[in-house]
């Protein structure tokens, strides 16, 4: 499990250590493993440390001191070390003295012969974009950047970029991961333990082991009913593909049984003969959770189908067209006692919330979850999942392979199968999003002439290989 800590939690945890240690000791404790990580990056990119040139871009805070100490250690290992001081009068004095004593040079700009740049401009206490002087320094080089704690100019809490910002190849952070490391592109992220006593995190990210631990694999006494019966209310005469994708994803996610009800019954069964299909939603039979919305349309029939699902005492996942219907009739969800899961993309979110998610996607998702009394999965390159209470889950995809038509229908089928099997909505959503992004990665990596670009169908066909790798 990944734990993401807010900047104020990190600073509070650092305070006792700073009070108990000599001045600058914690900085040097952090700077040594930082220098080791930079040395490894230098060896990977330039073949070694000795004789290579690094340049630290140094701000006035502790991150500038970290960068100077790391450059000092690298200078002692034979690297040529430069430093650009953005605020010379406010540079960390002890770190600068050590840097100069080791033979480091203070320069006005990054040399064209620099092999690696260290971004020590600002840390987790700052916000906003790079100041013009700092932006000009980075704009003048193409050398790869190692960021100290986070790429400067990126908001540490939201990952928002509102102006010039550093683009890092590697970020080395201390004590604990911060939200920015999931919500923004920080390159490869390495975490250095500096002995912080951190509180319980309320921002989490599932990893493969966590998904494997919660995935409902069948035991010796299980049958098709105990493994969950997923009901799918999706598709229309115009969009039968949505029903095929959603139902197929539930099948591939090992739902014990999938029941489909809607106008695409014949098409669904032709693709997935294991699905039990009927045209009328009231004839679907017993299910343990409903997935409603993909390809449903937004007319009177769609409204009736959504009302039917939400009138039951079963968990309901509301997606796609059903979210548009729900935006016009929010009363359908607000007073539900059974679990409800909403899975909007940014446009659907804006219709439900009355405004786009904005820069702080975590706070916006939490607010919408509270408004509807539901679990909300906000789609995007970083999926954000929040319930009315409990932790928020972040799932960084790391790529955009899943950004393709019909991909959301596949995601709904995966999550619906997990909810039908009894997983809590937030856990099901987080595990489903993780598996979905893994399937998209495998679809893109799969050798052959159709490997890229990928499609929702290819994502669906790679659910089972993704699960095999995870489980």
CB 359 within 8 A of CB 160: yes
Task: Report which of residues 299 and 338 the model is more confident about.
Answer: 338
Looking at the fold, whether 264 and 194 belong to one and the same domain comes out as no
Peptide bond preceding 453: is omega within 30 degrees of 0, i.e. cis? Answer: yes
For the chain, first and last CA: distance in Å?
Answer: 16
Q: Mean per-residue pLDDT for 452-464? A: 89
Length of the chain: 471
Q: Among 184, 201, 218, which residue terminates a domain?
A: 201
> Tokens for 308?
């039917």
Does one domain contain both 125 and 214?
no
Is 157 known to sit in a ligand binding site? no
pLDDT category at 448 given cuts 50, 70, 90 is low
Question: Are 191 and 131 members of one domain?
Answer: yes
Same domain, 267 and 284: yes
**CATH number of the domain bearing residue 103:** 3.40.50.10260
> In a 10 Å sphere around its CB, with 0-12 CB exposed, 13-18 middle and 19+ buried, how is residue 111 labelled?
middle
Over residues 105-126, the mean pLDDT reads: 96
Please check if 123 is assigned to a binding site: yes
Task: Look up residue 126 and give its two tokens.
Answer: 């700052």
Q: Are both 163 and 301 inside the same structural domain?
A: no
Q: Give per-residue pLDDT as tens, 201-251.
A: 999 999 999 999 999 998 898 888 889 999 999 999 999 999 999 999 999
pLDDT at 190: 97
- 236 labelled as ligand-binding? no
Cβ atoms of 115 and 42 within 8 Å: the answer is yes
**Rounded Cα gap, residues 225 and 400, in angstroms:** 36
Q: Is 89 known as a binding-site position?
A: no
Q: What domain range is 130 assigned to?
A: 2-201
Does the annotation flag 119 for ligand binding? yes
Q: Per-residue pLDDT averaged across 37-58, rounded?
A: 97
Average pLDDT, the chain: 95
Q: What is the mean pLDDT of residues 163-180?
A: 97
358 is in an annotated binding site: no
241 labelled ligand-binding? no
- From residue 158, alpha-carbon distances to 5, 141, 203 in Å are 12, 27, 12
**Separation between Cα atoms, residue 96 and residue 72, nearest integer Å:** 9
At which of 156, 176, 201 does a domain end? Answer: 201
| Integer CA distances (angstroms), 205 to 2, 167, 182, 386, 395, in order | 5, 23, 8, 12, 6
The C-alpha angle 419, 243, 409, rounded to 5 degrees, equals 60
Secondary structure class of 105 (helix, strand, coil):
strand
The answer to whether residues 278 and 326 belong to one domain is yes
pLDDT at 413 over 90: yes
The DSSP secondary-structure symbol of 359 reads S
Q: Are residues 243 and 179 in the same domain?
A: no
| Range from 52-66, 193-207, 439-453 carrying the lowest mean pLDDT | 439-453
Is residue 293 helix, strand or coil? coil
The reply to whether 51 sits in an annotated binding site is no
Residue 66, annotated as binding a ligand: yes
**Do 232 and 321 sit in the same domain of this protein?**
yes
Q: Average of pLDDT values for 118-130?
A: 92
- pLDDT (average), residues 397-402: 78
Q: Which helix (H) or strand (E) holds 432?
A: helix 425-445
Q: Is the pLDDT of residue 450 over 70?
A: no
Q: Is the dihedral of CA 322, 327, 328, 330 positive or negative?
A: positive
The response to whether 408 counts as a known ligand-binding position is yes
Q: Where are the alpha helices (DSSP H) in 168-219?
A: 180-183, 208-214
Alpha-carbon distance of 341 to 273, in angstroms, equals: 28
* Orientation angle between helical segments 93-101 and 62-76, nearest 10 degrees: 20
According to the annotation, is 399 in a ligand binding site?
no
- Confidence band for 400, pLDDT divided at 50, 70 and 90: confident
Same domain, 191 and 121: yes
Does residue 287 carry a pLDDT above 90? yes
**Mean pLDDT over residues 265-284, rounded?**
96
> Is residue 289 a contact partner of residue 419, using CB atoms and an 8 Å limit?
yes
- Is 61 annotated to bind a ligand? Reply is no
CATH number at residue 423: 3.40.1190.20
Q: Is 360 marked within a binding site?
A: no
Q: What is the model's pLDDT at position 24?
A: 79
Task: Name the residue among 462, 413, 469, 423 with its Cα closest to residue 215.
Answer: 423
455 annotated as a binding-site residue = no
d(CA 235, CA 428): 23
Both 243 and 344 in one domain: the answer is yes
Residue 287's nearest CA partner among 378, 224, 349 is 224
Q: Are residues 146 and 250 in the same domain?
A: no
For residue range 358-392, what is the model confidence (pLDDT) as tens digits?
999 999 999 999 999 999 999 999 999 999 999 99
Q: From CA 233, how far away is CA 279, in angstroms rounded?
A: 10
Domain count, the chain: 2
- Asked if 188 and 234 sit in the same domain, the reply is no
Is 149 annotated as belonging to a binding site?
Answer: yes
**Whole-number Å distance between alpha carbons of 206 and 397:** 12
Model confidence at 451, in pLDDT bands (50, 70, 90)? low
Question: Is 178 part of any known ligand binding site?
Answer: no
Give the residue from 173, 201, 229 where a domain finishes.
201
409 annotated as belonging to a binding site for a ligand: yes
């Amino acid at each position: 499990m990944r734990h993401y800590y807010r900047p104020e939690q990190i600073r509070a945890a650092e305070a006792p250590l700073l009070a108990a240690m000599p001045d600058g000791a914690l900085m040097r404790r952090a700077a040594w493993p930082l220098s080791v990580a930079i040395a490894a990056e230098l060896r990977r990119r330039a073949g070694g440390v000795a004789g290579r040139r690094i340049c630290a871009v140094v701000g006035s805070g502790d991150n500038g001191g970290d960068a100077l100490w790391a450059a000092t250690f690298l200078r002692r290992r034979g690297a040529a070390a430069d430093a650009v001081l953005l605020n010379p009068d406010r540079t960390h004095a002890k770190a600068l003295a050590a840097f100069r004593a080791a033979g480091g040079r203070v320069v006005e700009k990054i040399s064209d012969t620099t092999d690696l740049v260290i971004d020590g401009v600002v840390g987790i206490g700052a916000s906003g974009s790079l100041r013009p002087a700092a932006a000009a320094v980075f704009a003048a080089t193409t050398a790869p950047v190692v960021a100290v704690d986070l790429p400067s100019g990126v908001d540490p809490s939201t990952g928002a970029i509102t102006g010039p910002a550093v683009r890092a190849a590697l970020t080395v952070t201390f004590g604990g991961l911060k939200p920015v490391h999931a919500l923004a592109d920080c390159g490869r992220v390495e975490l250095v333990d500096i002995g912080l006593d951190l509180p319980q995190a309320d921002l989490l990210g599932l990893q493969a082991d966590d998904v494997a631990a919660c995935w409902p694999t069948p035991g010796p006494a299980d049958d098709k009913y105990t493994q969950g019966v997923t009901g799918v209310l999706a598709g229309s005469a115009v969009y039968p593909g949505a029903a095929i994708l959603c139902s197929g994803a539930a099948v591939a996610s090992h739902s014990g049984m999938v029941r489909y009800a809607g106008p695409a019954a014949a098409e669904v069964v032709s693709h997935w003969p294991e699905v039990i299909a009927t045209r009328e939603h009231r004839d679907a039979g017993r299910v343990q959770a409903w997935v409603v919305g993909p390809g449903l349309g937004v007319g009177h029939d769609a409204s009736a189908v959504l009302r039917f699902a939400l009138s039951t005492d079963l968990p309901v996942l509301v997606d796609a067209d059903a979210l548009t219907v729900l935006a016009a009739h929010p009363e359908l969800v607000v007073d539900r006692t059974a679990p409800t899961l909403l899975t909007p993309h940014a446009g659907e979110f804006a219709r439900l919330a009355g405004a786009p998610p904005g820069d702080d996607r975590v706070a916006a998702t939490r607010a919408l979850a509270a408004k509807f009394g539901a679990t909300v999965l906000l789609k995007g390159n970083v999926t954000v999942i929040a319930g009315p209470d409990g932790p928020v889950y972040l799932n960084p995809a790391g790529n955009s392979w899943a950004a393709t038509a019909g991909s959301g229908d596949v995601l709904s089928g995966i999550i619906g199968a997990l909810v039908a099997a009894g997983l809590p909505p937030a856990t099901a959503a987080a595990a489903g999003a993780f598996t979905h992004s893994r399937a998209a990665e495998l679809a893109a990596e799969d050798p052959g002439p159709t490997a890229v670009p990928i499609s929702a169908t290819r994502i669906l066909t790679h659910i089972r290989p993704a699960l095999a790798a995870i489980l």
